[in-house]
Amino acid sequence: MNARILVVEDEMLVAALLEDRLAALGCRVIGPATAVAEALELLKTEEIDAAVLDVNIGGEKVFPVADVLAARNIPFLFATAYGSAGVAPPHNRREVLDKPYQTRALEHALRSALQSRQRH
Residue 116 scores a pLDDT above 80: no
Could you please state the CATH topology (level 3) that the domain comprising 4-102 is classified under. Rossmann fold (3.40.50)
- Strands of the sheet with 50-53, listed across from one edge: 28-33, 4-8, 50-53, 76-80, 96-98
pLDDT digits (tens, 9 = 90+) for 67-82: 999 999 999 999 988 7
Confidence of residue 118 (pLDDT cuts 50, 70, 90): low
pLDDT digits (tens, 9 = 90+) for 47-59: 999 999 999 999 9
The pLDDT of residue 81 is 84
